[in-house]
Amino acid sequence: MWDERYATDEFVYGRQPNDFLVSQVSALPLGKVLCLAEGEGRNAVWLARQGYQVTAVDASAVGLEKARRLAAEHEVEVEIIQADLGDFDIASESWDAVVSIFCHLPAVLRRQVHARVANGLRSGGVLLLEAYTPQQLEFGTGGPPVAEMMMDKDVLSDELDGLVFRYAEECVRDVNEGRFHHGEGAVVQLVASKP
């Protein structure tokens, strides 16, 4: 599905970084950042432009090829890894930050990935996340078609055991990120740190 979605010259989620990431980037320690489900690379490339050492992981070879082109266009280096998040090893205590922007997975897999994220952050490391909540199904402006792949604060609190929530809000906001995230959307936004 994702190779097909990305198989166009257009950046289907836009070329600009996610608004929440931009607004909260100062919360991320400078260092090694892992971007989950990074697709066409807009967030990873922007972070590299801010001086972070960025690794982008995604299952889509087509999306990641666009990420490589975007990085070259901006003359920055981003480590690109093609992998399914179900198989990707997030090494223990090896990341200063993890960025998860609209990384929607089946609930069982999401729980596993979130446990690996919490384990993979170094002490003082930060997770920055934005995702659609189940309320998003009322809007239909992006995201998966099933509630179980969406998140809210309670789900995240349960799945990110060991992290301290510094900011966690559910809100409805205008999301304009290419043609697949366009319009009013119900989201959860999170900044959490590892003690």
The CATH number of residue 55's host domain is 3.40.50.150
Q: What is the pLDDT of residue 12?
A: 67
> What pTM does this model have?
0.96
Residue 45 CB coordination number (10 Å) = 26
- Vertex 63 angle, CA 190 and 3, to 5°: 110
CA distance 79 to 55: 5
77 within 8 A of 123, measured Cβ to Cβ: no
Show the domain range for 82.
2-193
Q: What is the pLDDT of residue 14?
A: 74
47 within 8 A of 18, measured Cβ to Cβ: no
Counting the structural domains of the chain, the total is 1
pLDDT < 70 positions in the chain: 3, 12
